[in-house]
Amino acid sequence: MLKKLLLLTLFSGLLLTTTAMAADIITVTSPDGQVRFHLFLEERQLYCQASFRGQPVLENTPVVVSLDGQVITKDITTGQIKTSIINERYPWLGVHAMAVNHCKVAVIPVRHAAVSYTLEVRVFNNGVAFRTLIPGNKDERRVPDEATVFNIPGGSTLWYHDMNMHYESVHVKKEIGDVEAGEWVAPPATIQLPWGGYAAITEADLRNYGGMSLQANGKNGLVIRLPQHQPTSYPYRLRYSAADTARLMQPAVITGAITTPWRVVMIGAGLDAMVNNDMVHNLCPPPDAKLFPQGFKTPWIKPGRAVWKYLDGGGDGTLEVMKKFTDGAAALGFEHNILEGFWTRWSDADIRELVNYSRNKGVSIWFWKHSKSLRDPLARDSFFRRCHDLGVAGAKIDFFDHEAKETIDLYQAILKEAAQYKLLLDFHGANKPTGQLRTWPNELTLESVKGMESSKLEDRATHETTIPFTRLLAGPAEYTVVMFNERRKNTTWAHQIASAAILSAPLLTYAANPENILSNPAADMIKSIPAVWDETIVLPGSAIGELAAFARRKGNTWFVAVMNGVGERPVKIPLGFLGKGTYKTQVVADDASNPAAVIKQQATYKNTDTISLTLQSGGGYIARFEQ
């Protein structure tokens, strides 16, 4: 009898969760029970809410999707809901070596008038995501739109930048109530909630659709805006014609079935949970085994560090100069050498000579290319075939500057066709990452950040301690790390060296001339910093725009890297993450008397020790721990 009563109680609880009231549709909880996502109807409109440990993350949020101008998330009925669980791990290139994909799934049939579609929800231990799937005949042409309003709890703090420079701007920090109606918010939008936790709003698996931006409504809400509603960025207007601009401002017509990207809300109790969040790439499909038979372990997928002749002198773009850059890469142990557009003036014989010279030193060659020249399929094939035949390993494709569907389609074409020729890719002048690295392991990085190329960025200390917890939550960025000259602005040499270990990417491009790296007193430390990591821990004391302190492991070697923002700051670093025993430690720290110098030290530490630092404004620290 007791057993029957218990089963009845459990069944009643399930009913309460899924169909409690006429207006309720479903509540999905995360595998660990801490995240709850509630779908319901209010005044016949579809809404959602999200919470973490009983605290609000999203308040009543209207989910608004339209098709050919008709809202299809109002006046709806729902069918039988199917639920399931995903629980998998897979190799990853980034903050850790294995990604964890563990979530509960709900697939909800929906009908609005004559339109039937599906709403899919996934709830992870560290966030929620949903998308809309609208079936269609293969020749059916329709225009989707969205205006979902993510309603943020009052008293939350938002870090964001606008869309004027596309994804290459400086974040500002405001209370959500002070963000004025009409302001643009480039995803990912990072939020600290009133109860102390964090959230970030972005999108995942952007394909066959226009990219999402967000616009404030002045009422604590951030509204989804597709490209036809977004302002055209200054870089696009600068580089493209008025006709191009006008064309991409038109609503995108989609032929056949329509699948929106995932609308993603990452959630964490602290910054460590946010930095280690795998949601964005979890929501993308795995790679095609025909193109990537061993996934990320496919032999031609080679993450690594790159030299780059652009910002720090080095001479003209000649064969002999680029051999010297290859020599520098080899001396540093770096894997790649990126050539800007001057390669187009070379003969095939010169290119082959550099490729062979570099290959013998363990260095691969990459070519820069303007994305506009790759719009035509024949032009793409010609370029990729030439790179492949000449032994070039990768291409840096630049100047996309837009997220219209036409541009997103171009990304997808480039990714697929480059993979067919076994070419690696670096997208510059690009949109935010949406997890495509999982599907296309040849997409080693996207720029989509205001990086070292920006000579006018005066407060680099605040910027570089902000982006690890904002832009980089969506995926790796090509910041082009480390500069020792005046371009480093209000940061020290030690801060710059630490940036290589914090602003990491599967293609980690260095801004400094390799000769200047090799002549730096900390060259040995720089040589040892990897591009990808096995484990990452965001250390206590880290705060957005103030301090970025990371412990990162590669194999059995640990690194502690710290970048300070503006103002002197005491920092304590408990070493409990270390294993048992004593670690020999190499340290590169600030020279208090000279920001363009470092102090090198040796020490021994155990996991019971704590390192105490007093960092100068814009200062830094990096240490390597080995047994």
Q: What CATH number does domain 2-282 carry, 1.10.760.10, 1.10.260.30, 2.70.98.10, 3.40.50.11780?
A: 2.70.98.10
Q: Which amino acid belongs to residue 590?
A: D
Cα separations in angstroms, 280 against 31, 247, 273, 439, 471: 18, 30, 14, 12, 13
The pLDDT value given to residue 49: 98
Residue found under tokens 């530490």? 605
Q: What confidence tens digit (pLDDT) does each residue in 151-201 have?
A: 999 999 999 999 999 999 999 999 999 999 999 999 999 999 999 999 999
Per-residue pLDDT tens over the stretch 440-471: 999 999 999 999 999 999 999 999 999 999 99
**3-class SS at 598?**
strand
Residue for token digits 């219209």?
404
CATH class as words, domain 467-627: alpha beta
CA distance 286 to 282: 9
Q: What is the pLDDT of residues 371-390, one digit of tens each?
A: 999 999 999 999 999 999 99
Domain ranges of the chain: 2-282, 284-448, 467-627
pLDDT digits (tens, 9 = 90+) for 88-125: 999 999 999 999 999 999 999 999 999 999 999 999 99
Give the mean pLDDT of 29-49. Answer: 97
Q: Are 526 and 585 in contact (CB under 8 A)?
A: no
Helix or strand holding residue 133 (H, E)? strand 127-134
pLDDT of residue 131: 99
Instruction: Indicate the Cα dihedral angle 573, 577, 580, 586, nearest 10°.
Output: -50
Percent of the chain with pLDDT over 90: 96
Structure confidence at residue 1 (pLDDT): 37
Intrachain domains 284-448 and 467-627 with the same fold: yes
pLDDT at 353: 98
Q: Is the pLDDT of residue 14 over 80?
A: no
β-pairing, 336-339 vs 364-370, is: parallel
SS3 267: strand
236-269 pLDDT per residue, tens: 999 999 999 999 999 999 999 999 999 999 999 9
Neighbours of 425 (CB within 10 A): 21
Average pLDDT of the segment spanning 568-582: 98
Task: Map tokens 């563990």 to a residue.
Answer: 102
Q: What is the pLDDT of residue 74?
A: 97
- State the pLDDT at residue 13: 35
Task: Quote the distance between the C-alpha of residue 58 and its chain's center.
Answer: 22
Taking only the tens place, the pLDDT of each residue in 214-235 is 999 999 999 999 999 999 999 9
Please name the residue that has the structure tokens 């363990």: 362
pLDDT score recorded for residue 115:
97
**Cβ burial, residue 103 (10 Å; 0-12/13-18/19+):** buried
For tokens 């480093």, the residue is: 488
- Give the architecture (CATH level 2) of 284-448: Alpha-Beta Barrel (3.20)
Which residues, in sequence order, are CB contacts of 257 under 8 Å at separation 6+?
Answer: 133, 134, 135, 136
pLDDT at residue 15 in the model:
33
Are 108 and 225 a contacting pair, CB within 8 Å? no
Q: Supply the DSSP string of 471-484, one letter for each residue.
A: GGGSS-B---B---
User: pTM (2 decimals)?
Assistant: 0.96
* 3-class DSSP state of 159: strand
Q: Are 429 and 398 in contact (CB under 8 A)?
A: yes
CA distance 206 to 490: 37
Reference 343, options 321, 363, 362, 361; nearest CA is 321
Strand partners, 463: none
Q: What is the pLDDT of residues 377-433, one digit of tens each?
A: 999 999 999 999 999 999 999 999 999 999 999 999 999 999 999 999 999 999 999
For 608, list phi and psi in degrees, rounded to 5.
-90, -5
Q: What is the CA radius of gyration of the chain?
A: 25
Query: What is the pLDDT confidence band of residue 18, given thresholds at 50, 70 and 90?
Result: very low
* pLDDT score recorded for residue 7: 34
| pLDDT for residue 5 | 32
pLDDT at position 453 is: 98
Per the prediction, the chain carries an average pLDDT of 96
Mean pLDDT, rounded, for 594-618 = 98
Residue 351 scores a pLDDT above 60: yes
Beta-strand relationship, 394-398 and 424-427: parallel
